[in-house]
Structure 1
Amino acid sequence: MKIQCRFFASVREVLGTSAEEIELPPEVRTVGAVRAFLRQRGGVWDEVLSDQKLLRTAYNQQMCAADTVLTDQCEVAFFPPVTGG
């Protein structure tokens, strides 16, 4: 399955990329599994996507939970919480 990953704000800055098309292995079926899969790259990927970091996720431009099931050609986005005032 191929998906489009997007990275925003500080996540994009640390990773040095705003988007990437990724071919996923069959066992990666949820948004949370994508996060774990990307962390396996090590280095800054493991650091910025760590389970210790509070990150928001979106599936096809809708906020979602880690257990959201993926579909082929979907979009998954990672970004830090946003505060305003």
Structure 2
Amino acid sequence: MTVRLRFFASLREQLGAEGSLQLPAGSTVAQARDALIAQGEREASALARGKAVRAALNQALCAESAVLQDGDELAFFPPVTGG
């Protein structure tokens, strides 16, 4: 299946605005993040485990346990703070 990717804020600066990712059917957001981390040093640095990164699936915040479907939009961004 193919998932559309979007990156925001500092992740956008590091990884670009968007892309796509091929994953096995039934993959989770966590598995997508791990697949991105495995792509290279730039992705590993930006999305490393232990870094605060939020995910949104089809424009709704989600847990990393969320299951992806073909054609879904998966966005990653750093936590947002207000003030």
Tell me, yes or no, whether TM beats 0.5: yes
TM-score by length of 2: 0.94
Structure 1 residue 21: Cα displacement: 2.0
Query: Can you list the C-alpha shifts for 1:18-74, whole angstroms capped at 9, x where unaligned?
Result: 0112222x2770001000000001211001100110011000000000000001100
What fraction of aligned residue pairs are identical, expressed as a percent? 45
Aligned equivalent of 1:66: 64
Distance 1:56 1:80 in 2: 6
Structure 2: gaps of 5 or more residues: none
Question: Size of the alignment, in residue pairs?
Answer: 83
Displaced runs of 4+ in structure 1, greater than 4 A? none
Determine if the alignment matches structure 1 residue 79 to structure 2 residue 71.
no
Letter in 2 for 1:22: L
Give SS of 1:73's match: coil
Distance of aligned partners of 1:45 and 1:28 in 2 relative to their CA distance in 1, 3 Å threshold:
farther
Distance 1:71 1:28 in 2: 7
Aligned equivalent of 2:18: 19
Aligned equivalent of 1:9: 9
Structure 1: gaps of 5 or more residues: none
CA RMSD of aligned residues (A): 1.2
Contact 2:55 2:62 in 1 (8 A): yes
TM-score by length of 1: 0.91
